[in-house]
Amino acid sequence: MKKVITYGTFDLLHVGHINILKRAKEMGDYLIVALSTDEFNAVKHKSAYHSYEDRKMILESIKYVDEVIPETHWEQKKQDVIDHKVDVFVIGNDWEGEFDFLKEYCEVIYLPRTDGISTTKIKSDLNKKNL
C-alpha cells in the first residue's frame, strides 16, 4: 500500500482544499492528513474559525481522506513519515523547497495551489462585504 501525507489547517473548507486532497489521494492508496491543532495554530500566529475537533470531523467525512492525525509542532513531519511508513509527502507549492529534507525518507511533491481561492482570500472578501 502506498501512503501519502499532507499537512494543513483546513479551515473554511473550499475547492482549493478539495483539489489538493483529491490530487494527493491520486498519488497513493491511503491519504493521511496531519491537521494543525488549535494550539499549534496559535504558535504559527494563525487562527481558525472552526475548532480542531470540527475541522477533523469535516476532513474525516471527505472521501479522499483515510486518516486524520494532529499536527502539534513543526518538527514532527520527519517522525510522522517514519512512524506512518509514508511514501509520498504532498504540500502546496507555496512551501517549495521547505521540506526537501524529507526526500531522504520519502518522495516530496509540491502541488500548485488552486488559482483565485484561499482561506485568506475568503476571510478578506467577507471582511470587505461587512464594511
Catalytic residues: 44, 46
Residue 25, φ and ψ in degrees, nearest 5: -65, -35
Kindly list the strands in the beta sheet with 88-92, ordered across the sheet, starting from the edge strand earlier in the chain. Answer: 67-71, 30-36, 3-8, 88-92, 107-111
Nearest to 65 by CA among 3, 130, 131, 128: 3
CB 41 within 8 Å of CB 9? yes
